[in-house]
Structure 1
Amino acid sequence: MEKIIKNGSKLKTGYTTGTCAQAAAKAAAVYLFTDKKFDYVEVNILSGKLLKIKIKSLEKYDDYAECSVIKESGDDPDVTNGIEIKAAVYKGYDKLIIDGGKGIGRVTKSGLKVPAGQAAINPVPRKMIAYEMEKVCLDYGYDKSFKVIISAEKGLETAKKTFNERLGIIGGISILGTTGIVEPMSEKALIDTICLEIDSQMEQGRKNILLTPGNYGRNAALEKFGIDIEKGIKISNYIGDTLDYLLYKQPERILIIGHAGKLSKTAGGIMNTHSNYADCRHEIFAAYAALCGAEKQVIEEIFNAVSTDEIDYILMRYNLHEKVWDIVINKIMENIKRRLQNKIQCEVMVFTNKENTWKYSSKALDFIKYFKDI
C-alpha cells in the first residue's frame, strides 16, 4: 500500500471494497483455467494504476471457483477494514452476470446509484469486475462469459455500523469505490455519502430536507418541536458542500438544526466548520458584542471562553444575549442564502447545551410543520 502525507503525518492508503471484489473475481476466474494456486493477483483500477492484492483463499469446485481477499483500509478508520470479501465465479453463461450473495446488501429504495432490487454493488466496481472478466476471456480464449457472486463474511453485522439501512440498503454492506483506493480520512467519501442520502430522500418524494451537523440536540429537538433529527441528514462539517449539492437538487425547503459551536462559524462565512480549517467563534461573538456596546473586559471574557456555551452565558450575564444573537443569526442566514443563490427557502435553528438556548431565523418556527412527519 502507498503512503500519503496528510496533516503532517505519513499515512497508509488502503483498498476499497470494490477493488477487493474486483481482485477476488479475477483470481477466481483465472483459477478456473489453471490448476496452479497463486498468492497475489494484479488488477488495474480505474485510474490505470496496477495494484497487487494478496489472496486469502482460493478454491475450485465442480462448477465454480472461489477466491477471498481481506479488505485493508490502511490508516482510514473504515468499519469494513479486515472484512473478508469473496467472489464465486461460474463458467458457461452467454452474458456476464454480477450479483451479491451473503453479506452484501440489496437496494430497496430508488434514488441510489444502483436500481432498487439489485445487489448494492456500485457502478464502478461492476465496471471493473466486467473489465477483468473480459480480459480473462481474451487471455484464455474463452468464448462464453461468467456469473460472479460477491459476498462478505460478517457483512450483515458490519452494515449495522454504516448508513446502509437509512439509505434503504438491507442485508449487508455495499461494494463501493470510485478510484479503487481508500485515502485516510477521505473527505470525498463523507461528502459522497451525504449526497447519496440527499438523492435517496428526494427520490422518495421528499421536498423538505432536514440537515444537522451532528448528534447534539436530538432529544431537545424532539421534545421541543416534535422533530426527530435522526430522520434528517447528518452533514458533519460540510455545510458548504451540502448546500452546493442541494442547490443542484432543488428541494423546496431546507431546515438546519445545529449546535452553536458549529453553526456560529457560518456567520463568519466559514462553510467547512472543522477546526483544522478555521475557528472564528470568539472573534464573531466578540466583534458583535463590541458593536452592541460591550466593554473591553466583557470582550476579553468572550475571547478567553473555552466554549460557545460559555460565551452564551457571558452574553446573558451582561444583558447582551438578544442583541448579539440577533446579529449572529442574521449573518448565518445571509451567508447561507448567498451560498444557495437565494433560490431555495432555508431556515436555521441554533442551540447551546449549557443554558439550552434556542435561537431561530425569522421563519424557522413556521417551517416546523413541514418536518414533523418526514
Structure 2
Amino acid sequence: MEKYIVKNGKKLRYGYTTGSCATAASKAAALMLLKERNIEEIQISTPKGWDLTLKPLAIEKGINWVSCGIKKDGGDDPDATNGLIIYSRVKWRRDNLIHIDGGIGIGRVTKRGLPVEVGKAAINPVPLQMIEREVREVIGQHRGVDIEIFAPEAVEIAKKTFNPRLGIQGGISILGTSGIVEPMSEEAWKESLALEIAMAKEEGLEKLIFVPGNYGRDLVRNNYGFDERHMIKTSNFIGFMLDKALEKGMKKILLVGHIGKLIKVAGGIFHTHSRIADGRREILAAYLGLLGTSPKDIEKILESNTTEEAVAFIYEMKKQEIFPLLAEKITQKARERMAEEVEVGTIIFSMDHGILAISSTGKKLLEEFKE
C-alpha cells in the first residue's frame, strides 16, 4: 500500500489485515472457480472505505475447488504475521449457503470472552462478514461454497502472539475491524489487552493483578507464586485498563509495578509512555518537599538521570518514608479513576532495592491472592 500517516514526526505506511488477506484469497479463489481460469489480481472493499487490489499467489486447482494465497503486508506496523501468506480453499456446495471455517494455522477458540464462540475457528466477525460479502458478489445468490482459510506457517508464528494466553490454540486469529492496519496503532493494542479482562470475567474472576510489564510480572511470579490467571499486563495503558476492569465489574485490583511507571499514577498520569507525559522526578521532588527535604537534595532528584538513580539518592538521604506515601497516593488515584467502586492496592519496587512499599490495601489483597 502507498498510503501513509505521520506519527511523532515519522512517515509510516499503512498495511492491510489478515482479515483482508483471507477475504481477497477467498474472492480470488471463488472467481477462478467460477470462471475456470486464473486471474492476475483481485479487488476487495474494506470497512475503512479503501479498496485494495492484491495479487493471488500459489494457485492450485482440483475437482470442484480452487485455492490461492495473499501475502500479508502490515506496512510499518511491527507484526508477527507480516509477510505471512493467508490461503483460502473454495469448493462448490450443493446448496446456496456459504460456510467458512479455519484449517491448519488458524487457531481454535477454547475460552469464553472472545467475539468468537468456543470451538470455532478464530476468524473474527468483521472478516467473516467481509469474506461472505465479497464471495457472494462473485458467485451470486443461487450458488454455495465451502471456504477454508489456512496458513501452515502460522502454527509457529502464533506462539509469538497473545493467542495462547487468550485460549486460541493451534494458530493465529484472522483479525481486523477496518481491513486496514494503521501503523503503531494504540487502539488495536489496547483492545487486545482488554480482551484478557473480558476473559477473566467469563472465568468468574473478580480480582486481578495489573502489571505494566515483564518486571512486575516477574516480581509477582518470583515472590508470590499466585495463580497466573489473575495477572494481566497493562503496558502503558493503566487508565484504560482500570476503566475496562470497572466496566467488567471487577471488585479488586492489585497494581504491581516499577516505581518509574507507577509514580506517574501518583501524579494523575494514567498513560505512562514518556512521550505522553513524564513528571517522575517532579512527583518525587514534591513528596520529598512535603517530608521537609532540603532544596539542595531536591535538586539532586530533579537532576537525576533515571528513577533508579533517584531512588538511590533517596536512600542516601534516609527518606525512605516517601515510598509508602507514594504507594498510598497511587492507590488513591486509581480508586478515584474507578469511581471509588473497586478496592485497589499497590506494590512499588525498584530493580536495585526490590520492593519499596506496599499500600495498606495492597497488604490485604496480597493475603487474599495467597488464598
Which consecutive residues of structure 1, in runs of 5 or more, have no partner in the other structure?
none
Cα–Cα, structure 1 residues 63 and 175, in superposed 2: closer, same or farther, change >3 Å? same
Contact 1:208 1:370 in 2 (8 A): no
Cα–Cα, structure 1 residues 370 and 86, in superposed 2: closer, same or farther, change >3 Å? farther
2:81 is equivalent to residue 105 of structure 1: no
The corresponding residue for 2:331 is 333
CA distance in 1, matches of 2:325, 2:369: 26
2:200 is equivalent to residue 198 of structure 1: no
The corresponding residue for 2:134 is 132
Paired amino acid for 1:69: I
Paired amino acid for 1:361: S
Cα–Cα, structure 1 residues 32 and 223, in superposed 2: closer, same or farther, change >3 Å? closer
Alpha-carbon shift at residue 195 of structure 1 (Å): 1.2
CA distance in 1, matches of 2:66, 2:222: 56
CA distance in 2, matches of 1:186, 1:113: 20
Q: What's the TM-score once normalised by structure 1's chain length?
A: 0.95
The corresponding residue for 1:188 is 187
Contact 1:218 1:229 in 2 (8 A): no
The corresponding residue for 2:281 is 282
Alpha-carbon shift at residue 217 of structure 1 (Å): 4.0
- After superposing on structure 2, the runs of 4+ consecutive aligned residues of structure 1 that deviate more than 6 Å are none
Cα–Cα, structure 1 residues 370 and 133, in superposed 2: closer, same or farther, change >3 Å? farther
Deviations 1:223-269 (CA, angstroms, capped at 9, x unpaired): 43333668611110000111111111011211111111101011111
CA distance in 2, matches of 1:372, 1:146: 53
**Correspondence 1:122-271 to 2 at 5 A:** 122-138=124-140, 143-227=142-226, 232-271=231-270
CA distance in 2, matches of 1:70, 1:231: 37
CA distance in 2, matches of 1:246, 1:362: 21
- Name the SS of the counterpart of 1:66 in structure 2: strand
Percent of matched pairs sharing the same residue: 43
The corresponding residue for 2:355 is 357
The corresponding residue for 2:44 is 43
CA distance in 1, matches of 2:282, 2:185: 30
Question: Which shifted more, 50-59 or 27-36?
Answer: 50-59
CA distance in 2, matches of 1:211, 1:232: 6
Question: Which shifted more, 144-153 or 324-333?
Answer: 324-333
* Aligned-pair Cα RMSD in Å: 1.6
**Correspondence 1:312-323 to 2 at 5 A:** 312-322=311-321
Deviations 1:160-193 (CA, angstroms, capped at 9, x unpaired): 0011111111000010111111111110111111
Contact 2:207 2:253 in 1 (8 A): yes
Contact 1:31 1:60 in 2 (8 A): no
Paired amino acid for 1:364: G
Contact 2:127 2:177 in 1 (8 A): yes
Cα–Cα, structure 1 residues 93 and 250, in superposed 2: closer, same or farther, change >3 Å? farther
CA distance in 2, matches of 1:330, 1:193: 29
Contact 1:213 1:234 in 2 (8 A): yes
CA distance in 1, matches of 2:128, 2:339: 37
Paired amino acid for 2:318: N
CA distance in 2, matches of 1:130, 1:371: 46
The corresponding residue for 1:72 is 73
- Name the SS of the counterpart of 1:59 in structure 2: strand
Alpha-carbon shift at residue 38 of structure 1 (Å): 2.1
Alpha-carbon shift at residue 153 of structure 1 (Å): 2.7
Cα–Cα, structure 1 residues 220 and 274, in superposed 2: closer, same or farther, change >3 Å? same
- Name the SS of the counterpart of 2:105 in structure 1: coil
Q: How many pairs does the alignment contain?
A: 369
Q: What's the TM-score once normalised by structure 2's chain length?
A: 0.96
Paired amino acid for 1:209: L
- Name the SS of the counterpart of 1:330 in structure 2: helix
Question: Which shifted more, 357-366 or 95-104?
Answer: 357-366
Deviations 1:243-300 (CA, angstroms, capped at 9, x unpaired): 1111110112111111111010111111110011011000000111112111121111
Cα–Cα, structure 1 residues 182 and 301, in superposed 2: closer, same or farther, change >3 Å? same
